[in-house]
Every structure is written in structure tokens, then in C-alpha cells.
């Protein structure tokens, strides 16, 4: 009588001959059983073939472990309910895996409305995602504490977005070590202290958005050393003080918003001057400026005619100590005497 040989290997699928399905056996074992059909050759054996299956899970196990730890550290919020250890983490909400490497490159924990379930500090395990390029925490009011130094481990990071959270403490100096950063957006938080002077060392930075915080101190003069054209500088709604650095005239950004601060001094270092003495390069020379707002400060001086500055209306300049000239009233008006 013909026999059927059953073979088994872990993670194998068995394919039967003659429409019969074999049962999987324990690893490393096989045995022979009589065939259930007639055969003219009693010595004939029918082999059940087994082929290895490719794993259905794309997610790297180290990345998955880091994410599960992150979920636990954030108190297992509902927004991360899809983060099931039995499911491929490349299929989880807020996660994107690279098609070639299968490593996680994008983590975006965001809510359309404020989500109080996400609570605690930024988990240290976020630094255990070495291929991360985009990191976002948004609309999470109970995400608290400082921006964790573990983020300094994310050397591939391009976009860092932490907005509308309870994050506090300083803008960390270690961000200058992440030389692939293109966007730093830390708006609508409770950050305090001064702006790190070292940020100018970021060679690829195209936008620095630190608005709606509690930052104090001056705008760093080192910002004039950003690689040209320089990043957009959105620093509004803070408590920044002191003069606007003359070195910013070296840049050619598209957007500048310094409104709602306590900046003071002669605005000619920003706008330019018609005086016949040496004056730092001014924003009248900036060709690509698309947005300018220095309202609600303590600036003085005449807004010069010509250049890009004439494209902006009075709302870009209102509520300063003694700014004058078009589009504001002329400097010889009673309002400025």
C-alpha cells in the first residue's frame, strides 16, 4: 500500500496531493502513513509538500517594542487603541513604515480636538525609533514636561512638530545637533526661557516657528548666520525683548512675524534707513519676503520707501512706540511729535 509522508517545518504551509490535507506535526518530526487511495505500486509514497511562508508582519520588532512602550508611558490612550501587539505595527494608526526598509519613519499622534487621554511627559522610548524622520504631537493638552533629550537620538529627523500641548521648559539647545531638521514647529505650548543661539547651526532649516509661548530674552544675533536664504522666523506672541538684530538683514526669508512681543529700539536696523552713515543691511534688500508682522512691539523709526516693505499694509506695523511713514502716518504728524 502506498504511503503518505508528512513533513513539517515551523511557519510552513502544507499542500496535499490528491485533494487530501495533511495535519501539521510538531517541529523537526515527520512520519509515514498509509495512503487512503488505491495504488498499483505498493512501495509508492506520496509526499506532502511544505513550503516556508514569508512573515506577514512588516514592522521591525525593535520599532514595535518602542511603540508599545510609548503607548504604555502615555497611559494607553484610546487614540492608540489600534496599537495591538498582535497586529502588524505598520498598520497602526499614526504610524508609517518605509516601503523598502519597513522601519518607522513617521509618527504623528494628533487629534482634531484636544485629547486629554494622552497624558504624561514625552516618553523616552520615542528616541528608540532611529529611522524616524517626522515626529508630531498635536492637540494633546496633558502632554507635559520638557522636550525630552531622548529626541537628540533621532539623527534622521526632518520635521519636529509639537503644537497645542502642555509642554513647558526651554527650547532645548540639543536641537542644534539634529542637522537634518528642516522644520521646527513648537507653537501654542508653554515654553519659556531664551531662544538658543545655536539653532543657526542647522544647515537645512527652512522654518522656525516658536510662536504662542512664553519665551523671553532677545532674538539671537546669531540668526543672521543661518544659511541663506534663511528660515521663516515665526516668533510672535511671546515676551521677547531687546532690539531686532541687524544681522537679520543678511537673510532672505519668505516670512517674518515678530508681532506681540516687547521688542524695542530703532527699527531702522530692520527696515533700512536713508541716513548717510553706515547702516546694517536692511530688510528692504530682501527680495522674497512674503509675510512681515512686527506689530505690538516698542519699535521706533521711519519705515523707508521702496523695496518689498511697501507691499505690507498698516496692520503689519501697528501698535509700536513710534514707527512712522507709509503705510503708517508720516513721521512729522502730531502723532509722532
Residue 26 has pLDDT above 70, yes or no: no
Cα separation of the two ends of the chain: 116
In a domain, 37, yes or no: yes
What grid cell was written down for 241?
Answer: 525683548
In a domain, 14, yes or no: yes
The whole-angstrom separation of Cα 254 and Cα 246 is 17
**Residue-wise pLDDT tens digits, 34-43:** 444 444 444 4
Residue 15's pLDDT band (cuts 50, 70, 90): very low
User: What pLDDT is recorded for position 55?
Assistant: 54
Q: Which of 244, 261, 252 is nearest to 226 (CA)?
A: 252
Domain count, the chain: 1
In a domain, 25, yes or no: yes
Q: Are 95 and 67 in contact (CB under 8 A)?
A: yes
The whole-angstrom separation of Cα 63 and Cα 288 is 42
The whole-angstrom separation of Cα 271 and Cα 291 is 14
Supply the range of the domain harboring residue 46.
Answer: 3-52
Residue 216's pLDDT band (cuts 50, 70, 90): very high
The whole-angstrom separation of Cα 180 and Cα 86 is 34
Half-sphere exposure of 282 (CA within 13 A, CB side): 21
In a domain, 164, yes or no: no
Residue 201 has pLDDT above 80, yes or no: yes
Q: Are 309 and 283 in contact (CB under 8 A)?
A: yes
Residue 171 has pLDDT above 80, yes or no: yes
User: What pLDDT is recorded for position 282?
Assistant: 44
**Residue-wise pLDDT tens digits, 87-114:** 999 999 999 999 999 999 999 999 999 9
List, as own/partner pairs, every contact residues 168-175 make where C-beta atoms lie below 8 angstroms and the sequence separation is at least 24, other chains included.
Answer: 168/144, 168/192, 169/145, 169/193, 170/146, 170/194, 170/196, 171/147, 171/195, 171/196, 171/199, 171/210, 171/215, 172/146, 172/147, 172/196, 173/198, 174/149, 175/151, 175/199, 175/202
Classified as helix, coil or strand, 223 is helix
What grid cell was written down for 292?
Answer: 512681515
In a domain, 318, yes or no: no
Lowest mean pLDDT among 62-76, 127-141, 242-256: 242-256
Q: What is the pTM of this model?
A: 0.75
Between these two residues, 311 and 202, which has the higher pLDDT value? 202
User: What pLDDT is recorded for position 273?
Assistant: 37
Averaged pLDDT score across all residues of the chain: 80
User: What pLDDT is recorded for position 57?
Assistant: 80
Between these two residues, 7 and 55, which has the higher pLDDT value? 55
Strands 255-257 and 291-293: parallel
User: What pLDDT is recorded for position 264?
Assistant: 82
Residue 1 has pLDDT above 80, yes or no: no
- Mean local confidence (pLDDT), 195-221: 98
In a domain, 45, yes or no: yes
**Cβ count near 251 (within 10 Å):** 22
Half-sphere exposure of 53 (CA within 13 A, CB side): 11
What grid cell was written down for 271?
Answer: 527696515
In a domain, 48, yes or no: yes
In a domain, 155, yes or no: no
- Mean local confidence (pLDDT), 178-199: 98
**Residue-wise pLDDT tens digits, 264-310:** 876 555 554 332 222 233 444 555 667 778 777 877 777 766 666 66
As a whole-number percent, the residues of the chain with pLDDT over 90 amount to: 55
The residues facing 217 across adjacent strands are 240
Between these two residues, 309 and 124, which has the higher pLDDT value? 124
Strands 12-15 and 159-169: unpaired
Amino acid at each position: 500500500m502506498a504511503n503518505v509522508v508528512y513533513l513539517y517545518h515551523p511557519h510552513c504551509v502544507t499542500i496535499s496531493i490528491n485533494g487530501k490535507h495533511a495535519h501539521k506535526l510538531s517541529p523537526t518530526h515527520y512520519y509515514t502513513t498509509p495512503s487512503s487511495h488505491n495504488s498499483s505500486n505498493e512501495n509508492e509514497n506520496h509526499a506532502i509538500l511544505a513550503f516556508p511562508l514569508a512573515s506577514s508582519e512588516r514592522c521591525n520588532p525593535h520599532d514595535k517594542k518602542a511603540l508599545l512602550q510609548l503607548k504604555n508611558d502615555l497611559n494607553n490612550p484610546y487614540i492608540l487603541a489600534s496599537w495591538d501587539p498582535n497586529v502588524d505595527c505598520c498598520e497602526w494608526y499614526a504610524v508609517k513604515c518605509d516601503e523598502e526598509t519597513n522601519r518607522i519613519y513617521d509618527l504623528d499622534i494628533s487629534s482634531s480636538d484636544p485629547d486629554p487621554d494622552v497624558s504624561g511627559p514625552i516618553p523616552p522610548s520615542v528616541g528608540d525609533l532611529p529611522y524616524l524622520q517626522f515626529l508630531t504631537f498635536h492637540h494633546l493638552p496633558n502632554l507635559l514636561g520638557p522636550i525630552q533629550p531622548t529626541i537628540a537620538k533621532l539623527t534622521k529627523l526632518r520635521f519636529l512638530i509639537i503644537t497645542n500641548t502642555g509642554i513647558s521648559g526651554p527650547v532645548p539647545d540639543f536641537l542644534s545637533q539634529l542637522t537634518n531638521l528642516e522644520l521646527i514647529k513648537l507653537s501654542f505650548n508653554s515654553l519659556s526661557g531664551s531662544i538658543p543661539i545655536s539653532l543657526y547651526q542647522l544647515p537645512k532649516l527652512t522654518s522656525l516657528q516658536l510662536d504662542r509661548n512664553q519665551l523671553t530674552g532677545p532674538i539671537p544675533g546669531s540668526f543672521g548666520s543661518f544659511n541663506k536664504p534663511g528660515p521663516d522666523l515665526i516668533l510672535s506672541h511671546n515676551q521677547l525683548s531687546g532690539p531686532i538684530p541687524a544681522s537679520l538683514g543678511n537673510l532672505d526669508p519668505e516670512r517674518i512675524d515678530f508681532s506681540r512681543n516687547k521688542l524695542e529700539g530703532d527699527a531702522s536696523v530692520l527696515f533700512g534707513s536713508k541716513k548717510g552713515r553706515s547702516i546694517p543691511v536692511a530688510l528692504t534688500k530682501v527680495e522674497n519676503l512674503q509675510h512681515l508682522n512686527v506689530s505690538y512691539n516698542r519699535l521706533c523709526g521711519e519705515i523707508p520707501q521702496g523695496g518689498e516693505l511697501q507691499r505690507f499694509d498698516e496692520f503689519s506695523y501697528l501698535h509700536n512706540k513710534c514707527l512712522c511713514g507709509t503705510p503708517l502716518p508720516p513721521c512729522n504728524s502730531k502723532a509722532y511729535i
